[in-house]
Structure 1
Amino acid sequence: MRWKCTCAYDGTDFDGWQRQPSGGAVQNHIEAALTQIFDRPLQLHGSGRTDAGVHARGQCFHFDAEWLHEPEKLIRALHSILPTSIRIKSAKSVSDDFHARFSVSGKRYLYNYYLGRADPVDDRYVWACRDLPLDLKEMQVAADRLLGTHDFSAYSATHGKENDPNPVKTVSRLQLKQRGKFIRLDAEGSGFLYRMVRSIAGALYAVGRGRLTPDDIAEILESKKRTHRIVTAPAKGLFLDKVFY
């Protein structure tokens, strides 16, 4: 029996999503809880990785195990073991051909900026931009230049690799919204390269500060090469909001 689960987590104190030898990743904690519940080693498969410090409201994963009770009972069992910074939002049985990673049709991320010095509670979840102001209108113009299907190699961090696999992605939404001192970037697309959303968030910040122009953003995209002019935004402002299947 295959189970699909959706979870949320505060990534502040975790070593990212993906299983780590240290045991400090979100996946480590959920697998340990499942192993305890089913009394045998269980491995799960996630929709994709999130880096250390990145949060999630809608990360998805699947695992295979026989569970003869209601899904809500499985969720309660997991919550009795997991730290409070990880919550299981839903669990349901799915067909055996479902795969949390390979069945994905798209993802939505949110990135949060804050204008000024954030309160300690908010500071865990935003990039506090203390060098005011930001030109939101110009940032949106630049964001619009990235919409569509492109090779996004220039907006990916590759750990020294020349190219990420399949660098061509379709970005269908990059929308900036301001509410008081908070600015939120909604990013939605078919998929995203390693640190791509954080790279876009950093590039748009540079536009807001007048360090780059919308034309620069388009030219960097066309170059397909990473440049020092693109700064990766801090992990703590990023949320994996939803995975589409």
Structure 2
Amino acid sequence: MKRYLIYFSYLGTRFRGSQKQFNKGIPVCPTETVQSLLEFGLSQLKPINQPVVYPASRTDQGVHALCTAAHVDLVFFNDHSIYSIIKLLNTFFTKHDFDIRVLSVREVPNSFSARHSVLRKKYLYRFAVVNSHALPELPIKKNVLPIPILEKDRCYFVPRSEFDAESAAEAASLFVGSKDFRAFMGRPSHQPNDIRTERSIESCELRKGLPLLSTPESSCFDFYEVACSGKSFLYRQVRRTVGVLIAVGLGRLTLDDVRGMFENPSKDSWNAKAVVVPGHGLYLTSVEYKEEDLFVEMNSFTEDSISVS
């Protein structure tokens, strides 16, 4: 049996999420989760064992991944090359019009875990606010704004024009370091109440962003990005963080309000003046590991990893 690390990307628009879903222990929606489709694609390789994919991260409905990872154990009568694994998976996803793309595959030690061996995860959230100078006479209403069609389900458009980016950027700095993020955790039904909510965030930065493509419509908005990195994040932590930063930029929350959520970490400390932003603006941009954790002993012959684009 060999363990493989798969790097892949996906557009989350048509998926219910990355993780397999169950109803009373029975898998449901097998073609609507990334994990289920990876396992089904790997089964086309006809391994002896049933492929079980262990993802590095779980993402909600609508969330995208530019480069994430998962590991899987496979046993073959006749070994498949790394190239053939990549080719078969991408052929399967393309043929059936699934928005998943395998980027690379490599063999890793049996002790490696795509989830528990993570060194760092990086997320990016894209949002845009109205440029009032570009739209001086247009009502600032969600279904009136000239939102670029290429940005549909790729960016969150805030139907407001007054945004204080400097205050929002200052608020972002409050999220860096080891803190209790209980106020920023969503509460899924499957998660235990006694989960540890301390997390160490390496960076949290608000910066100017860009449209996917420059068009007359995109010039009507100011684009921003929130970039966060850390070893692990709580359920919906990034989306709640961005919601707070936007609320600060819009003047709904103050820096003291944000500090209060950290000083009194509780599920009741969430300030309702902030809105949890939708998933479609969120991107998991990378999952990083220590190179020594990926190293396979030479006495176990393996091909070099091969990447495709």
Task: Report TM bin, short chain.
Answer: over 0.9
Of 80, 83, 107, the residue aligned with 2:91 is 80
Identify unmatched segments of 5+ residues in structure 1. Answer: none
Q: How is 1:1-245 mapped onto 2 (pairs within 5 angstroms)?
A: 1-20=2-21, 21-23=28-30, 24-39=32-47, 41-66=50-75, 68-82=79-93, 83-116=97-130, 117=145, 118-159=147-188, 163=193, 165-179=195-209, 181-226=222-267, 227=270, 228-245=272-289
Sort the Cα spacing of 1:236 and 1:70 in 2 relative to 1 into closer, same or farther, 3 A: same
Alignment RMSD (CA, Å): 1.7
**Contact kept? 1:153, 1:163, Cα under 8 Å:** no
CA distance in 2, matches of 1:139, 1:47: 30
Query: Residue 87 of structure 1 aligns to which amino acid in structure 2?
Result: R
CA distance in 1, matches of 2:158, 2:11: 21
Q: How many residues align?
A: 245
Provide TM-score, normalisation by structure 1.
Answer: 0.94
Equivalent position SS for 2:19:
coil
Larger Rg: 2
Equivalent position SS for 1:38:
coil
Shift of 1:162: 7.5
Shift of 1:105: 2.1
Equivalent position SS for 1:142:
helix
**Contact kept? 2:169, 2:207, Cα under 8 Å:** no
Query: Residue 50 of structure 1 aligns to which amino acid in structure 2?
Result: T
Shift of 1:220: 1.1
Provide TM-score, normalisation by structure 2.
Answer: 0.75
1:62-114 Cα offsets, whole Å, 9 max, x none, are 00114634312211100111135100011000011000111112211000011
Query: Residue 12 of structure 2 aligns to which amino acid in structure 1?
Result: G
